[in-house]
């Protein structure tokens, strides 16, 4: 209630700050390079799908090898022969990703990484809309892409982003915290879902020049954390039971 009242009181300032931030923030391109590949290394085969927004697309670094997929592949290459694919687009919301995935041909991926949520916040989606889109997305990934393990990466700490002025930074940060609680609650509905949240004590050290996306060191840490989770829960024979995500209602 207190947060809602604060938003009403601050709404004129927040609107002006949002428009100004969009105008002056450096616009970085998505990372260049292939969006699918094979590590061609010795080890058990593993198919990985990464879906998401600009961060998943590698905004903040020059090449896909430096971005999220490239870093996951780097850290997993010692253990598996990784075949990976990236479906990501700057500015995309969870509902838009649902539409994109529905148009894709059916494939099989043992592991899927999901990086969404920032644009849902910027588009003023409600928590209920966010949750419903997540549940639909999980069902599609399970049924159409045969995902055994789905890693839901937390929305980054917007309240710490240097590109955002106050009080806009505070308001977006509070919404990110709320959306992350919903994301975590969805991850607890099924054994095949995993919630991953990173902590940053010096966030500017991990960010790109725009103050809004990961930089190379940020992608390194993020990719390594995902690779470790994949190894722990899938490669080391600790994969979840085949529950069919029946609790996603």
pLDDT at position 42 is: 78
pLDDT at position 240 is: 43
pLDDT at position 10 is: 54
Report pTM.
0.87
pLDDT at position 243 is: 45
Alpha-helical regions (H) of 117-166: 118-122, 127-145
Of 110, 134, 228, whose CA–CA distance to 188 is shortest? 134
Report pLDDT digits (tens) over 59-82: 999 999 999 999 999 999 888 899
| Gap between the Cα atoms of 25 and 213, Å rounded | 11
Report pLDDT digits (tens) over 188-216: 999 999 999 998 766 777 899 988 899 99
Domain locations along the chain: 2-235
Contacts of 155 (CB under 8 A, 6+ apart): 117, 118, 121, 176, 179, 180, 183
pLDDT at position 18 is: 60
Average pLDDT score, the chain: 87
Task: List Cα–Cα distances, 157 to 47, 89, 178, 240, in angstroms.
Answer: 29, 20, 11, 29
pLDDT at position 239 is: 43
Residues in the chain, overall count: 249
pLDDT range class, residue 3, cuts 50, 70, 90: low
| Gap between the Cα atoms of 53 and 94, Å rounded | 9
Angle made by CA atoms 191, 193, 197, in degrees to the nearest 5: 125
| Gap between the Cα atoms of 62 and 212, Å rounded | 15
Alpha-helical regions (H) of 108-215: 118-122, 127-145, 168-187
CATH of the domain spanning 2-235: 3.40.50.1110
pLDDT at position 164 is: 84
| CB-neighbour burial class of residue 166 (10 A; exposed 0-12, middle 13-18, buried 19+) | exposed
The percent of residues above 70 in pLDDT, for the chain, comes to 82
pLDDT at position 111 is: 96
Sign of CA dihedral 52, 178, 145, 227: positive
Q: What is the mean pLDDT of residues 98-105?
A: 96
pLDDT at position 140 is: 97
């Amino acid at each position: 209630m207190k947060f809602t009242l604060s938003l009403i009181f601050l709404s004129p300032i927040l609107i002006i700050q949002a428009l100004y931030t969009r105008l002056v923030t450096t616009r970085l391109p998505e990372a260049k390079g292939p969006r699918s590949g094979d590590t061609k290394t010795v080890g058990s085969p593993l198919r990985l799908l990464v879906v998401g927004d600009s961060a998943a697309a590698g905004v903040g670094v020059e090449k896909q090898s430096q971005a999220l997929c490239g870093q996951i592949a780097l850290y997993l290459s010692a253990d598996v022969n990784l075949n990976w694919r990236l479906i990501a687009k700057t500015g995309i919301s969870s509902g838009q990703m649902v539409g994109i995935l529905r148009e894709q041909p059916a494939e099989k991926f043992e592991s899927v990484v999901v990086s969404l949520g920032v644009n849902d916040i910027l588009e003023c989606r409600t928590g209920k809309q966010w949750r419903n889109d997540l549940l639909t997305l999980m069902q599609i990934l399970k049924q159409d892409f045969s995902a055994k393990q789905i890693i839901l990466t937390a929305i980054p700490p917007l309240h710490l982003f240097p590109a955002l002025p106050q009080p806009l930074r505070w308001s977006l940060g509070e919404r990110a915290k709320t959306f992350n609680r919903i994301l975590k609650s969805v991850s607890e509905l099924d054994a095949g879902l995993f919630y991953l949240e990173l902590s940053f004590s010096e966030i500017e050290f991990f960010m790109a020049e725009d103050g809004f996306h990961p930089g190379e060191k940020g992608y390194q840490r993020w990719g390594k954390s995902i690779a470790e989770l994949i190894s722990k829960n899938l490669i080391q024979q600790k994969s979840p039971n085949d529950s069919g995500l029946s609790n996603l209602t």
